[in-house]
Amino acid sequence: MSLQHIIASTGELVSFCNPSSFPSPNVPGTNISNIIAEPVLNFSGEAPWYYNFNNPGITVANATFCNVTVTYDHPGQNDLTAIRAYLPISSPAWNGRFQAVGGGGWVAGMGEVSFLQMIGALGNGYATITTDASLANPLGEADSWAMVSEGNVNLYKLQNLASVSLRDEALIGKSLIHSFYGKAPQYSYWSGCSQGGRQGMQLAQRYPGLYDGIAASAPAVNWAKSVAAIFWPQLVINQLLGGTKPADCEVNRLTALAIETCDGLDGIVDGIVSDIALCEETFNAFDYVGTSFTCASTNQSTSVSRGAAVFANATWQGPRTADGRFLWHGLNIGAPITDAVNVGNRQAIGAEWLRLFVKKNSTFDVNSMTLDEYEWLFHRGVAEYDSIIGTSDANLREFKRRNGKLMTFHGLWDQTLPTKATEDYFDRVSEMTGAEAADFARLFVVPGLYHCAGGPGGQPTALFSALTNWVENGTAPDTVPISFIDQNNTTNERILCPHPSRAVWDGTGPTSKASSFYCTER
């Protein structure tokens, strides 16, 4: 160990934070073009709970860290890539661990949400890293990089997003840590949600030895299917409703009626539907066509149209062929499904996938698709890209053999990615590995939670700490705590249970106490 590393043990690493301290990381197939390193002194910032996925919110005050940016490419691929690392020096000091963070949508990392997650990791003493996967698209759109020319997808950049940048990021991050602190991290972790969840799943599948623990939440597994399915609600409007979008008031009214009908099925009236399967058997949107109500946004009396029922029912069922055959899972009853067609960046991801990657035509009008064409593009996307970015491989035996641990949460009211797709993936993992699956991989579904954050059901902010406890102490998480404030302003402490079990009220204890709940399979 060098004199500088001996000094480093006392926390005086500021002078060591310069480019000359970092030899080029040895990553097969890459050419490191530049390393920038500069100390950041007395940094203060906040990682709010709703973006610090898998963790509680945290405020960082007067931190000092080494800010390192590495740029590199894969020769011949025209894919200049940037990686950013924060290496803690003091307030807090390095905890001996490494945490990489994921992106969202078409952003692999190096965006606002990734930087907030890095602040969260930094605040807990982790050396942390993010990558732009060569995409350099902070606004989250794919048009700038998806094609090299009309009809030709930029497969190098797609595979960077899919997997290659994840390997590079881990190897470069570990190299930077060893150069700066004089030793390798004791434990390495991944944390992300949505695209970050898919990235975590890809790491477990394709690079099972890079991380000891992976928190991969609300993951876009089965990418080609799940992303094509994002466009389905708009296609319902275009093809089944003749282009006439039902009023949000009417769709929201159906969602509210469904919640009202199904809320008490679990024995508790708290504004949250916990048993989706039973709700699907109980509630029928068409039973409420023609019923009157007052629209909150207009304060006028109106009624539920048949179009609203068609839209809601089709969105809950999920993509189907013109003759009604299953293509993919739908969103759950209770999710704010008007977001699927009103929030532009949600719908855009599905539209960009079909237009740029599957159709390979930047001017293709996705709103002109028929049901038959959608079915063909749906299958074509799976056939063409599943081996690149599908992230659907349930064979995690090697990840298990290397003692890796995988934890996932997914909100039952996710309005972007279907919870059932993640449940299906974990079911296939269990089928492949048998009862041993729970020894290394656990999914926790969250009643009342939207996509990654938001909703009345609370945020699972203890998932990452449960993961580290599992990795480092061997304590498997039989439950994960969660809390939320209900419509009566009462704080409710509950538990989440590993799929396929669910938390059930014991029927006697106070419903605001976690001790009144136990795990059971339906």
State residue 7's pLDDT score: 41
State how far the alpha carbon of 37 is from the alpha carbons of 132, 166, 173, 176, 326, in Å.
Answer: 18, 21, 13, 10, 52
Q: Is 499 a catalytic residue?
A: no
Give Dmax over CA atoms of the chain in angstroms: 79
Q: Determine if the pTM surpasses 0.85.
A: yes
Give domain limits for the chain. 1-185, 227-389
414 noted as active-site residue = yes
Candidates 132, 339, 414, 486; catalytic one: 414
pLDDT digits (tens, 9 = 90+) for 284-332: 999 999 999 999 889 999 999 999 999 999 999 999 999 999 999 999 9
Q: Which residue reads 């605040």 in tokens? A: 123
CA distances (Å), origin 176, targets 20, 66, 75, 115, 171: 12, 11, 22, 18, 9
Q: If we measure between CA atoms, which residue out of 327, 416, 315 comes closest to residue 375?
A: 327
Say yes or no to pLDDT of 466 above 60.
yes
Give me the torsion for CA of 426, 427, 433, 439, rounded to 10°. Answer: 50
**What is the pLDDT confidence band of residue 11, given thresholds at 50, 70 and 90?**
low
Question: Which one is catalytic: 74, 329, 410, 451?
Answer: 451
Nearest to 396 by CA among 206, 174, 144, 250: 206
Dihedral angle, C-alpha 333, 262, 505, 408, nearest 10 °: 0
If you average pLDDT over residues 434-455, what whole number do you get? 95
Stretch 470-486: mean pLDDT, rounded? 96
70: pLDDT confidence band, cut at 50, 70 and 90? very high
Separation CA 171–CA 83 (nearest Å): 11
Lowest mean pLDDT among 38-52, 128-142, 360-374, 399-413: 128-142
Residue 169's closest CA among 131, 127, 122? 131
Distance, CA of 270 to CA of 264 (rounded, Å):
8
Given 134, 163, 191, 194, which residue is catalytic? 194
Task: Check if 165 is active-site.
Answer: no
Which residues neighbour 209 within 8 Å (Cβ) at sequence distance 6 or greater?
A: 398, 402, 404
Q: What is the pLDDT of residues 188-236, one digit of tens each?
A: 999 999 999 999 999 999 999 999 999 999 999 999 999 999 999 999 9
Using DSSP, state whether 20 is helix, strand or coil: helix
3-class secondary structure, 163: helix
Residues 6+ apart with CB under 8 A from 96: 185, 186, 187
Nearest Cα neighbor of 419 from 291, 328, 485, 327 is 328
pLDDT category, 93, cuts 50, 70, 90? very high
Could you tell me the pLDDT band of residue 140, with boundaries at 50, 70 and 90? confident
Task: Indicate the pLDDT class of residue 347, thresholds 50, 70 and 90.
Answer: confident
The answer to whether 454 and 413 are in contact (CB under 8 A) is no
What amino acid occupies position 294? T
Report CA 22 to chain centroid distance, whole Å.
32
Give the closest residue to 345 by CA, choosing from 147, 144, 139.
139
Reply yes or no on whether the pLDDT at 424 is more than 60: yes
Coil/strand/helix, residue 240: helix
> In a 3-state reduction of DSSP, which class is residue 66?
strand
Residues 208 and 396: beta-carbon distance below 8 Å: yes
Residue-wise burial string across 138-170, b where 16 or more C-beta atoms lie within 10 A, e elsewhere: eebbbeebbbeeeeebbebbbbbbbbbbbbbbb
pLDDT at 4: 43
- Share the mean pLDDT of the chain: 95
Residue type, 293: F
pLDDT band at 139 (very low <50, low <70, confident <90, very high): confident
Alpha carbons 219 and 425: distance in angstroms, whole number: 10
pLDDT digits (tens, 9 = 90+) for 257-268: 999 999 999 999
Task: Name the least confident of 216-230, 233-247, 343-357, 442-456.
Answer: 343-357
Dig out the tokens for 454 from the structure: 């938001």
